[in-house]
Every structure is written in structure tokens, then in C-alpha cells.
Amino acid sequence: MPNSSDIDLAVLQNSLSPKNRKWHFLPEIDSTNAEITRLLPSHPPEEELIVIADYQTGGKGRSGRVWHSAPGTGIYLSMLIRPNLSPEQLPIVTLIAGLATAIAVNEFISKPAQLKWPNDLLLNNKKIAGVLCEYHATEVPAVVIGIGINVNQIQFPDDIKNIATSLKLESGLETDRTTLIKQLVTQLDFQYTELKNNKVQTIIDNWTRHSDLFGKSISINKGDQSIIGKAIRLDPLGRLVILNESGKEIALDSGEVRIQRK
């Protein structure tokens, strides 16, 4: 299959490539995260890698869910990084990926999308983008950042059509995917540099500014446990701190957040 008409790899390579960055564009793949995982054992530790697909047959969401990845309409991108972080610090990488996605997407819409901890981007209370970060304890530890953005979709499967949206559905306009990918990778590079420069609190503050979660009553499902409380802040590890019904602060590193509607 030829390269997708509106994803111009040459433009991306010329404008966003440090000398040690490799790009792979795939017309079709099961999952861009899975592709990087397969390449990881033979990939040079000093070399950066970005994989983009025009279509995913098995796009991965959080908790084993599927990310709907229709051909020719969305952005399905994974980036390999090798941060000097422990697995316990992985939530910070999820924060930088979500923040980069929010900033990039909001360049293309008038009403800003809002981050929902830990890894969703919502517009009008519907999911427009998601992040999945996977840690690999290789000799040089690696993290695969996977990002899916609903760009030019005009319809979704019945099981998600009430909870998913796209830039085109919200704005009525077609978005050039190359331009959006360029913004996204530029932001990923910037936020990752902030992380390498130990500006974790700056990242957390900026993430917070792109979310309307705090101060709201929420429930968090984690496994078979459900916790109800008020979202109050992120801690220095990127965990969500809530004030539970007993007045105790609890820090959570993962979970499914639902806002309690009055």
C-alpha cells in the first residue's frame, strides 16, 4: 500500500528529526505499541524511534481495551524513550504524554479539550484521545508512549459512539494529520526535555491547568475496589490524590475515574 495521502513522512523527518531518530510509517499494523515492543530487543539504545500507522487492527487501550483505529482518519503513534526513571515513576511519563496531546489537539479547536487522569483527553465529555505508556525493564529501561487521537472520524461503532468524538465531529473541519503529528511530536519532545531537566512540578502544574477534574466528586474503580472522594491534586509522582469520605487523603497510581454527577 502507498503512504497515506495526508501523512507526509518526509515533512516530519525533515522538521522533527534529531540525527538519532528513526521513523517508521506502516499502512497497517496490529498496534504501534506492539510494533515497538517487537523491535525493542534489536533497537540501539541510543536511537530514538517513532512508529505511525494509518490503520491499526488491534489498537491497544488501557486495561486491555481496544482503541478503535479506523483507516485513514486518526493518529496512531508510538514513541520509544529511555528515561532514567523507575517503574514507580511511570505515571510522570503518562502525564507528559497527555499534556503534549492536549496542547497539540487544542491548537485545532476553539473550545479546549480537558485531561482526565490518568490518560484520557475529553472534549464535551467525550473521549477524543488516549495515552498508553508501557514500561520495559530491558538492560537500558525503555518506555513506549502510545497515543491515539480521533481526528477525521465521522462515525464510531455502536458500543462507543456515545462516549467518543473526533476533531471533525466537533469542529466540522477536516484536519491535516501531518500538521497535527508535527505539533504532537514537537510537544512530546519539549515535555520530555522538561522531564529530563527535572521540571516535574512544572509538568504537574501544566497538566493541572489542562484538566477540570480537581475539586470534583469522583469515584475510582481499581480492580474490584471502588473509592469515592474529591479529586484535590497530583502528587510529585503524578498520582491522583483524593480526599475520601472519611476525610483521609489517598494517593492512587492508576484506576478508572468517573465524575459523580449531581
End-to-end Cα separation, the chain, in angstroms: 51
Q: What is the pLDDT of residues 247-259, one digit of tens each?
A: 999 999 888 888 8
**Omega prior to 118 cis, within 30 of 0:** yes
Strands 249-252 and 114-116: unpaired
Q: How far apart are CA 54 and CA 70, in angstroms?
A: 8
Higher pLDDT, 64 or 240: 240
Shared-domain flag, residues 141 and 224: no
Pairing label, strands 114-116, 21-26: unpaired
β 75-81/48-53 pair status: antiparallel
Q: Are residues 93 and 222 in the same domain?
A: no
Mean pLDDT to the nearest integer, 166-179: 94
Q: Does residue 90 form part of some domain?
A: yes
Length of the chain: 262
Res 101 pLDDT > 80: yes
**Domain for residue 196, yes or no?**
yes
Residue 228, domain member (yes or no): yes
The tally of domains found in the chain comes to 2
Please indicate, yes or no, whether residues 66 and 196 belong to a single structural domain of this protein: yes
Domain hosting 238: range is 217-259
Instruction: For residue 3, tell me if it sits in a domain.
Output: no
Identify whether residues 119 and 245 lie together within a single domain: no
For the cut 50, the answer to whether the pLDDT of residue 167 exceeds it is yes
Instruction: Report if pTM > 0.75.
Output: yes
* Claim to verify: residue 43 and residue 21 sit in the same structural domain: yes
8-state DSSP, 2: P
Which pLDDT band, with edges at 50, 70 and 90, does 61 fall under? low
pLDDT the model gives residue 258:
87
pLDDT, mean of residues 55-59? 82
The mean pLDDT of 75-97, rounded to a whole number, is 91
Q: Which of 11-25, 54-68, 84-98 has the lowest mean pLDDT?
A: 54-68
224 pLDDT higher than 50: yes
CATH number of the domain bearing residue 225: 2.30.30.100
In order, the DSSP letters of 220-251 are: EEETTEEEEEEEEEE-TTSPEEEEETTS-EEE
Give pLDDT, residue 17: 72
| Residue 108 included in any domain | yes
Residues 205 and 221 in one domain: no
Lookup: cell for 76: 496512531
Please give the mean pLDDT across all residues of the chain: 90
CATH of the domain at 165: 3.30.930.10
Output the pLDDT for position 60: 63
Let me know whether 149 and 222 are in one domain.
Answer: no
Summarize the confidence of residues 164-187 as an average pLDDT: 95
* 77 and 175 together in one domain: yes
What does the CA dihedral 119, 25, 27, 61 come to, rounded to 10 degrees?
A: -10
Verify that 221 and 178 share a domain, yes or no: no
Show the DSSP H helices in 7-107 as ranges.
9-16, 32-39, 90-105
Answer with the one of 193, 209, 225 that is the final residue of a domain: 209
List, for residues 232-246, the tens digit of each pLDDT value.
Answer: 999 999 999 999 989
Residue 1 lies in a domain: no
Same domain, yes or no: 124 and 191: yes
Report the alpha-carbon distance of residue 223 to residue 45 in Å, rounded. Answer: 35
Residue 2: its pLDDT value, please? Answer: 39
Give the per-residue pLDDT at 262: 57
Judged against a pLDDT cut of 50, whether residue 71 lies above it is answered with yes
169 and 228 part of one domain: no
**Shared domain check, 41 and 164:** yes
Question: Is residue 3 scored above 50 in pLDDT?
Answer: no
Q: What is the pLDDT, as a whole number, of residue 89?
A: 83
pLDDT, greater one: 140 or 52: 52
Q: Is residue 105 part of a domain?
A: yes
Confidence band (pLDDT; 50, 70, 90) for 1? Answer: very low
